[in-house]
Each structure stands twice: as structure tokens, then as C-alpha cells.
């Protein structure tokens, strides 16, 4: 396994390199200097960091104002507070006004574990998909994260990047090239398709390896570009299997499960869909990541068991 790296560290390094290349990047935090791991940037460019205190709505409004003044404004704080507490500002100041703000939702999903539902962000994709003109990405590993951020900083207009809160190993080698809308097929397989988002892609890859030992061939698709998305390409990637399972540390409504369901329905993909994640009307349990994912049925062993059960039916 390759060396793991925290995606927030990747983010900060991208900001530093962008400023050194001449991009007018200004991070805005809401007393979230520790969460965002922004200290290396602050040490290099102390006049560029804006800390508004524990005031998420002010953070987003300030970022929108900076963007209107010609800056590339980036917000860096915990996803649950960005999405919930600053919802109206994200909707109006950033999306409706189409300002050049990049929103980084840190420690998304159930990254905060034992802190429970107040600190879990398991509806952020569904919320952001409801805002019509913002691009949405969920990187699965450091290389992909770096390329998504480099793209986002160059892209004019609103972007939301869902960031996991744990160190992740690489899933791609140096030849990988991210492109908005592309469908990233990590593992080939002919019996079942596993479509995962963010850090749960690692669980899907591990599940495919376990299934291979049982002579079950599973393909793995990394859904990192949620908007834009090449729907026809995704439908094509789901052809030829009888079972499709989506895997996400997010509610099954509005996230990866909904994206895949919509595409399968619209393109008439002839397969059974099973959505693994946080069930309708439920919250993620409090606990560390292995416990939480086991309870939700989205750890690699549970995914493999679900596949075997579906095939045996």
C-alpha cells in the first residue's frame, strides 16, 4: 500500500503553489485553522488568510465579497457547519450570484466519528446538488485531490469539494489525469459493479479483492465528478452486469445512490440497483470509522457479503 496523506494537507500545499504561480488565492476560515491544517500557508502568506471566527455565514459572505473584488476565494472549514450553518449564504451569495468561490467541505461524511450527528456531514452532496450552478467533486485519494483542486482554482465560478477527514493512500499512479465529468473505472469486472464516492472507494476496491477470491468479478467505479458528470459514459460503464451497488458515507438519498439510480433509469440500464450508505431517515452512528462503517454496511467485508447475498438470490 502506498503512503497515506491527509487531503487537507494536499489542499494547503495546492494553495501555496497556486499563490507562488501568481494566482490571487485568499483562504477564508471560521476559526478552523486546525481543521484546515492551514498553518503552513499562514506562515508563508500571513496577509492572505482571513479568519472571521466561529461565524460560518460571515465566512461564506466574506468569500463572496472577495470574489466579487477579483480574488479567488476559498473557504476551509468542517463540512457539516459549512453546509448547514451557512446554507443560505452558499445558496445566495455563492451559487445564485455565481461568484468565484471554492468551498472545501472538510471532514465530510462521518469523519468526526464519536462526535455524532452534529458533526457528521452525510447530506452535503444532496444539498449541493439542489443548487444548480455549482460544480461538485469528491476526491478519493491524494493525486486525484491535487488535480481536482488545481482545476478548481483555475475554473471561474463556484465549486464544492467534499474532503474526507482521514489520511488516504493512493488509488492512482502518476499517469492519472483528472478531467471534469469523466467516469473513473478503477477495477475491471463482469459480474457486479461497485460505484463508490470519496473515501469509500477504498472499501469498494478492497471488497472487489475479497470477491475475486470467491470467483466473483467486480468492477469498481470511482464517482469523483458528481457535477459535471458524463451520464452516458456512466451508463455505459454499468452495462453488462446484473447487479450494481453504490457505496457512500452519505445518505442514500441525493448522493451517489441517487446519481446512479437516475442514470440507470434514464438510460434503461438493465440491472438491479442496491444502495449502501445511511438509510432513509437515519443518521450515522457515533463511533470510530471501522465501527461506523460496519454498522452502515459500507466496510469492505460488508460490501462483499452484500454482493454474495445478491448473487445467491
pLDDT tens for each residue of 169-224: 999 999 999 999 999 999 999 999 999 999 999 999 999 999 999 999 999 999 99
**For 284-297, what is the mean pLDDT?**
96
Q: What is the CATH number of domain 184-312?
A: 3.40.50.920
C-alpha cell belonging to residue 156: 471561474
Which DSSP category does 233 fall into?
A: H
**Is there a contact between 161 and 139 (Cβ–Cβ < 8 Å)?**
yes
Q: How far apart are CA 207 and CA 188, in angstroms?
A: 13
pTM of the model: 0.97
C-alpha cell belonging to residue 155: 475554473
Could you state, in order of their start, the residue ranges of all structural domains in the chain?
5-168, 184-312
What's the number of CA atoms in the CB half-sphere (13 Å) around residue 219? 21
One fold for 5-168 and 184-312 = yes
Across the chain, mean pLDDT equals 97
229 Cβ partners below 8 Å, 6+ apart?
181, 183, 223, 259
Q: What is the CATH number of domain 5-168?
A: 3.40.50.970
Amino acid at each position: 500500500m502506498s503512503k497515506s496523506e491527509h487531503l487537507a494537507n494536499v489542499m494547503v500545499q495546492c494553495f501555496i503553489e497556486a499563490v507562488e504561480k501568481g494566482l490571487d488565492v485568499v483562504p477564508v476560515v471560521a476559526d478552523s485553522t486546525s481543521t484546515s491544517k492551514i498553518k503552513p500557508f499562514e506562515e508563508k502568506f500571513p496577509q492572505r488568510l482571513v479568519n472571521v471566527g466561529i461565524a460560518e455565514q460571515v465566512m461564506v459572505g466574506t468569500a463572496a465579497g472577495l470574489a466579487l473584488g477579483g480574488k479567488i476565494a476559498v473557504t476551509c472549514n468542517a463540512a457539516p457547519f459549512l453546509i448547514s450553518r451557512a446554507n443560505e449564504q452558499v445558496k445566495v451569495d455563492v451559487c445564485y450570484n455565481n461568484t468565484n468561490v471554492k468551498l472545501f467541505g472538510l471532514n465530510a461524511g462521518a469523519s468526526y466519528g464519536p462526535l455524532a450527528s452534529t458533526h457528521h456531514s452525510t447530506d452535503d452532496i444532496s444539498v449541493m446538488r439542489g443548487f444548480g450552478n455549482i460544480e461538485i467533486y469528491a476526491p478519493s485519494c491524494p493525486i486525484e485531490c491535487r488535480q481536482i483542486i488545481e482545476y478548481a482554482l483555475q475554473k471561474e465560478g463556484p465549486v464544492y469539494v467534499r474532503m474526507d477527514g482521514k489520511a488516504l493512500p493512493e488509488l492512482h499512479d502518476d499517469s492519472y489525469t483528472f478531467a471534469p465529468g469523466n467516469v473513473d473505472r478503477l477495477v475491471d469486472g463482469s459480474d457486479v459493479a461497485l460505484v463508490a464516492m470519496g473515501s469509500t472507494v477504498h472499501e469498494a476496491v478492497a471488497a472487489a479483492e475479497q470477491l475475486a477470491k470467491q470467483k466473483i468479478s467486480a468492477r469498481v467505479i470511482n464517482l469523483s465528478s458528481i457535477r459535471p458528470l458524463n451520464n452516458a459514459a456512466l451508463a455505459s460503464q454499468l452495462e453488462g452486469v446484473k447487479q450494481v451497488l453504490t457505496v457512500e458515507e452519505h445518505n442514500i438519498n441525493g448522493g451517489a445512490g441517487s446519481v446512479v439510480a437516475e442514470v440507470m433509469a434514464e438510460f434503461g440500464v438493465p440491472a438491479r440497483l442496491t444502495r449502501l450508505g445511511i438509510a432513509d431517515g437515519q443518521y450515522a452512528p457515533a463511533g470510530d470509522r471501522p465501527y461506523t462503517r460496519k454498522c452502515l454496511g459500507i466496510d469492505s467485508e460488508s460490501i462483499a457479503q452484500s454482493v454474495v447475498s445478491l448473487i445467491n438470490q
